Structure 1
Amino acid sequence: MTLTPVDTAAGTHFLRKPGEPLRIWAHRGGSSSAPENTAASDEVARRAGVDWIETDVQSTKDGVPVVLHDATVDRTTNGTGEIRSLTAAQVAELDAGSWFAPAFAGQRVRTLVQQLDGLRARGGNLLLEIKNVHTRDSVGRIVDDVYDREMSGRVFVQSFEPQHLRWVRELAPELPLGLLRGVLDPDPVAIAKDLEVLAYNPSEAALQTRPGIVAELHAAGVAVNIWTVDNPTSWRALERAGVDGIITNRPAELAGWSAATR
């Protein structure tokens, strides 16, 4: 299966056109079927035909960007401790698959560079979340890794932290940006314009407090992607609400549902 690189650097518009299917963002890869944020999880999403793989990036003690969601390695590896207290070499030795199922023993916590290399070799685009606390220098290291691997046209950056997005805008103004939100801002359109983001990405619960915000953001040219949604009832409701994409742990199922209901 060949996935299509998305030329984000050329200004691809992320608004869903009438009649187009929802864009599927595979949350931590195919994380309902494989250990999250691993090469195996990326492969599940890829084989489902999903163009976009969402990932979480944090820094090790020695400043290496690695693909991990939690502030500690405890839940998803056989190790313990905060990711910021461990070196990249220490993290590389951890088993990131056995906790999910014995068949995945030996999966590793990857560096961002390793994930980008996998996407270059096997296909796919990256929705990169800058996770937890960062400095401008650590954000710069993430941006450098993207450019060093020549992947700037296949990466979309998002964060809950506006400052992270401002730093990315300063360092790499051509990279598309998305603002994550657990609660809607008083004026989502204003903050989206201020940050120059292409997408405003709230939780499903946040959107339900003000569903009309989808039309308001669309009028401003801002796409809306909802996280993290795993059931067909919600998929249908969100599609009818006009959202542009869904971040899901079940990308294969959402792809199948989308095809079957069109």
Structure 2
Amino acid sequence: MSSPEVLAHRGFAGIYPENTIGAATDAAAYEETTMIEIDVQPASCGTPVVFHDDRLDNTRDGQPVTDGSGLVWETSLEELAETRVLGTEESVPTLSAFLEALPETVGVNVELKNPGRSDLRFAESLAESDRKEQRAHWAPFVERVVTDCDAFSGEILFSSFYEGALAAARNIAPDYSAAVLLADSVKTGLEIARRYDCEAIHPPRNQVRGTELASEPYGSIPADEPDIDLLEIAHDEGRAVNVWTVDTWVQFTQLAEVGVDGIIVDYPGLGQSARPQE
């Protein structure tokens, strides 16, 4: 059985305040952590910040994500610096400050979450006539993200659910690795991965065949064994498969047994039972 790489989801969001510098530095201290997965979008001035939701006043398990309110991309850097995340003293960091706090020994999976607008095309394979427009929507923000990432000495992997984001990333920074995030269609994900020659594909945990997870619903993705063997096809094409998001060691072990390359997890230590026997 393989031992997949561990990607700390938002900095092990199961035990640390997600997407904060404190979470990242704590997550980086675990020997198992290969990469830290984060989400980026702009503040009102266009500066990339690390935050997942569009709104500051969304909730996690009934608790407000922050003590702020409103759309992130309509909020100033000064306000974000004073905003507290999940009842802690951690604030919403800039991408630059976030990367500066990390050692080069840990990589960062930068999910391009939003360029500061709502007219985007989520998890769609775009017609050729639409690709230029969507790439243009993303390009100014992606340029600023790339500038921040260029100052980081560790590994960077860009990922997104949006074809426009991947198109902009490939155009602006072709030397960085890229991954397409899948939603409800394996076929769509493979099309986009091939179009931009993505180094990796990031499917949800129930889109990998050969596990019990494939017959369980996950979020809005129904319980239905995938018709397409994504893992086999991706590996035949030379692409890594990093699965999101795993909460238990049982889930981790199932995915490790079928040979996925990486697993995005909320908690540290899930892979201990999946390590190969000596």
Q: How far apart, in 2, do the equivalents of 1:259 and 1:239 lie?
A: 9
- After TM superposition, give the deviation of residue 35 of structure 1 in Å: 0.6
For structure 2, the residue ranges without an aligned partner over 5 or more in a row are: 58-63, 117-137, 209-213, 215-224
Matches within 5 A, 1:100-115: 105-115=88-98
RMSD: 2.0
Q: 1:83 aligns with which of 72, 75, 95?
A: 72
Q: How far apart, in 2, do the equivalents of 1:71 and 1:189 lie?
A: 27
Aligned to 2:29: 47
The 1:120/1:81 distance shift into structure 2, 3 A limit, reads: same
Q: How far apart, in 2, do the equivalents of 1:48 and 1:260 lie?
A: 19
Taking structure 1 as the reference length, the TM-score comes to 0.83
Report the residue type matching 2:98 in the other structure.
Q
Matches within 5 A, 1:39-188: 39-49=21-31, 50-74=33-57, 75-98=64-87, 105-120=88-103, 123-133=105-115, 135-147=138-150, 149-151=151-153, 153-186=154-187, 188=189
Aligned to 2:135: none
Q: How far apart, in 2, do the equivalents of 1:142 and 1:159 lie?
A: 13
Q: How far apart, in 2, do the equivalents of 1:109 and 1:177 lie?
A: 25
Q: How far apart, in 2, do the equivalents of 1:244 and 1:158 lie?
A: 16
1:173 aligned counterpart, secondary structure: coil
2:245 aligned counterpart, secondary structure: coil
Higher relative contact order (CA 8 A, sep 6+): 1
How many residues are matched?
234
User: Which segment is superposed worse, 199-208 or 84-93?
Assistant: 199-208
The 1:261/1:88 distance shift into structure 2, 3 A limit, reads: farther
Q: 1:214 aligns with which of 231, 235, 254?
A: 231
Q: 1:231 aligns with which of 248, 252, 262?
A: 248
Q: How far apart, in 2, do the equivalents of 1:261 and 1:248 lie?
A: 22
- After TM superposition, give the deviation of residue 178 of structure 1 in Å: 0.4
- After TM superposition, give the deviation of residue 131 of structure 1 in Å: 0.3
1:36 aligned counterpart, secondary structure: coil
For structure 1, the residue ranges without an aligned partner over 5 or more in a row are: 1-18, 99-104
Aligned to 2:202: 201
1:116 aligned counterpart, secondary structure: helix
Aligned to 2:126: none
The 1:185/1:51 distance shift into structure 2, 3 A limit, reads: closer
Residues 1:35 and 2:51 aligned together: no
- After TM superposition, give the deviation of residue 187 of structure 1 in Å: 5.7
Q: How far apart, in 2, do the equivalents of 1:139 and 1:91 lie?
A: 20
Report the residue type matching 2:274 in the other structure.
S
Report the residue type matching 2:142 in the other structure.
V
C-alpha contact (below 8 Å) 1:65/1:142 kept by paired residues: yes
- After TM superposition, give the deviation of residue 188 of structure 1 in Å: 4.4
C-alpha contact (below 8 Å) 1:189/1:220 kept by paired residues: no
2:270 aligned counterpart, secondary structure: helix
1:6-51 superposed Cα distances (whole Å, 9 cap, x missing partner): xxxxxxxxxxxxx651111000002111111112211332222212
Give me the identity figure in percent. Answer: 29
The 1:187/1:61 distance shift into structure 2, 3 A limit, reads: closer
Taking structure 2 as the reference length, the TM-score comes to 0.78
